[in-house]
Amino acid sequence: MKLLKKILQALEAEPLDHLVVTGDVTLSGEASEFERAAELLAPWAEAGKLTVLPGNHDLWSWEAAASWRFLRLLGADGRGMKKPFAVFPLAVELSPEVTLVALDSARHGEDPRTTPGALGSEQLAAARELVRGAAKQGRAVVLALHHHLVIPPERVPSDLALQRMPLADAYQLVRMLSELPVAAVLHGHRHTHFRVDLPGAGQPTPVLCAGSASRAADEPVRRPRALVYELDRSGLRAVNAIVAAA
């Protein structure tokens, strides 16, 4: 919590248009955890500068999933929803030049430790339309989801044992990237910062994992951090990391 607060403070000091939280704001989807997250993110929610999407931990229990706890207590904009309904894929205009398309890849399963994520064909088809529509207007599109699409070669030995909850239909999204112009993909799930460039429609598409924002770690790429992205209609211009001091 100490490390996370430092990062949030540093973010508040930056001239940022929007904060995107790529899921796992809770450990086990408890109501008290969601309330705490909503409290910490309140300044961003109140300013209308927040998009949150769910991670696998946010649907850890059947109760959390069945009662739509994520949407009710936090919601995609951090303000919660009295009467929750499916909101993803969600298009958010970050600036006159950039659109964010937030996806929900979190799925509840009997054994949450081995349940893969999934986007589903319906959500993928809707996301394609949103990307196409924004591109037609000359806007850059950033996709955000919780699960990783791929693990970079240098992380395979260390992350192999942890590779129990992949994204079941990642290949569908990889295919979408090769067919439609996407400026960047942002995701969480892995507690490591890495970037993989996948074949894109035209130029390669950067896929970026910020890593954890709260987990104490010694390995430099695992230190808690947030990434700051600079984007315009031509795509991703720069990425800077705000890293919590060890």
Rounded Cα–Cα distance for residues 137 and 167 (Å)? 30
Pick from 3, 8, 20, 24: which binds Fe ion (CB under 5 A)?
24
Cβ proximity to Fe ion: between 184 and 209 the closer is 209
C-beta separation of 185 from 231 below 8 A: no
Instruction: Give dist(CA 215, CA 119) in Å, integer.
Output: 26
Near Fe ion in 184-203, by CB under 5 A: 189
Euclidean distance between CA atoms 89 and 104, whole angstroms = 7
CB of 178 to Fe ion, least distance (A): 25
- From the list 50-58, 64-72, 73-81, 136-144, the region that binds Fe ion by CB under 5 A is 50-58
Closer to Fe ion by CB, 55 or 181: give it.
55
Least Å from the CB of residue 124 to Fe ion = 20
55 binds Fe ion (CB under 5 A): yes
Closer residue to Fe ion in complex, CB, 113/136: 113
| CA dihedral (56, 58, 62, 65) positive or negative | negative
Minimum CB separation of residue 155 from Fe ion in Å reads 15
Alpha carbon dihedral 42, 46, 49, 52, in 10-degree steps, equals 40
Among 56, 115, 192, 212, binds Fe ion (CB under 5 A): 56
**Closest-approach residue to Fe ion (CB):** 189
User: Does 33 engage in binding with Fe ion (CB under 5 A)?
Assistant: no
List interacting residues with Fe ion (CB under 5 A): 24, 55-56, 189
